[in-house]
Copies of this chain bind each other. A is one copy, B any other.
Amino acid sequence: MERKTSDLILGVDIGGTSTKIGLVQNGLILRSDRIPTMGHADEHVFADAIAQCIKHLTNDIDPSAIGIGAPNANHFTQLIEQAPNLPWKNDVPLAQIISERTGVPTTLGNDANAAALGEWKYGAGKGFDDLLVVTLGTGVGGGVIVNGELVLGSAGNAGEIGHTTIVMDGRDCTCGRKGCLEAYVSIRGMRRTYDELDGNKDVLKQEGVQCIADAALAGNYEAMQTFHHTVRWLAVALANAVATTGPARIVICGGIARSGSLLLDPLKEWFRKDLLNIYHDRVDLVLSGLGENEAGILGAAALTFMNKELKRSV
C-alpha cells in the first residue's frame, strides 16, 4: 500500500545552543519543540534525538520532506562542514542520517540561506524575486535571491555578507581576516564598539544588544553613538550588496533587528545616502516580521524547496 503524502514539512533549525524542530503547513508552524544541540555523545546520538522529536511532533502523519538549517552546512555536498560553533568538528552528513532514521527525504542547507528562503517563501520577502536577506546576531549572515532563485554560488557558499570587508586592515574578525562587517555589526561587534567608545568602563553590566539599546533610549551617549556607527557600517555593506546584485528589497532579521526603529530609522537614512543614485526608490529596507523561533523553523522548512538544485556538483 502506498504511504499517504502530505503538505506537511518539518523544519529543523540547528543553533549553537538548541535545535528547534517544527511541523509546518503553508507557512504556519502547527507544533514545535526543541532539544539541546550540545551534550550528545556524537552526531548519531544527536540524530537519534532529532528523529525522536520528529516522531513525537508528527504522530502518525508522514511529512513530505524535512529541511535542516545549520551553520556551515553546504547545500551541494549536503554536509555540515567543520562548523566551529557546533560540537562535531568533522564533516557531518546529517541529512542522510536523518533521512535514514525517518524515511523522509531530507535536505540540508546553511542557516543564513535558510533564513533567506524563509523570508522569501513565508516572510517579508514574499514575492520579491530579487531579494537580499541579512541576519544580524552573534554573527552576520546573508542570503541572496536573484532571478527567483537562491544564489548558492559555485561551491554552495554564497551570501557571506558578514565577511565582506568594510574597513581595510580593520578589526580582527573571528574568521581570521580583518575588517569584516561581522566584526562591527554583530552582537559582539556592537559590544566592542560600545566598549571602545566608553573607554572600557564597563558601565553596561549585561551582555547582548538589548542593554545597549536600553541605554541608548535612556540617553547614554556612547550607546547612541554605538548605534550610529553600527548603522553606518551596515548601510555601506548593504549598499555594496545592492550594487552587486540589485535586489528590490532587503529584509533585516536576527536579534539586532529587534532593536526596531532605533536601528531601522537611521539605517534607512544612511542606506539611502550610501546607495548609488540609480538604485534610489528601486530598493526598500524592512525588518523581518517573523518571530525569533519561527524564523529558523520556517527557513529550515523552506530549504525543502531547493531539491532541484542538488544536481549541481561542487
State whether B164 touches A247 (Cβ < 8 A). no
Task: Map CB proximity to B onto A269-297 as digits: 1 under 8 Å, 0 otherwise.
Answer: 00000101111001100000000000000
So how many copies of this chain end up in the complex?
2
Interface centre among A149, A159, A236, A248 (most CB of B within 10 A): A236
State whether B165 touches A274 (Cβ < 8 A). yes
Given the known interface contacts A146-B146, A278-B160, the answer about A154 and B240 at a Cβ–Cβ threshold of 8 Å is no
State whether A153 touches B276 (Cβ < 8 A). no
Interface SS majority for chain A: loop
State whether A154 touches B283 (Cβ < 8 A). yes
State whether A158 touches B240 (Cβ < 8 A). no
State whether A247 touches B282 (Cβ < 8 A). no
In the bound complex, CA of A158 to CA of B145 (Å): 13
Q: Is A167 an interface residue (CB 8 A)?
A: yes
Closest to A147 in B: B149
Chain B residues with CB below 8 A from A163, complex form: 243, 276
Chain B residues with CB below 8 A from A244, complex form: 142, 144, 158-161, 164, 240-241, 244-245
Task: Map CB proximity to B onto A125-167 as digits: 1 under 8 Å, 0 otherwise.
Answer: 0001110000000000010101101011111111111011111
Q: Is A168 an interface residue (CB 8 A)?
A: yes
In the bound complex, CA of A251 to CA of B177 (Å): 24
Interchain residue pairs with CB less than 8 A apart (14): A129-B154, A147-B151, A153-B246, A153-B247, A154-B247, A154-B248, A154-B283, A155-B248, A158-B243, A158-B245, A159-B243, A167-B168, A168-B236, A176-B277
A contact set with B: CB distance below 8 Å: 81, 128-130, 142, 144, 146-147, 149, 151-161, 163-168, 175-177, 232-233, 236, 239-241, 243-248, 274, 276-279, 282-283, 314
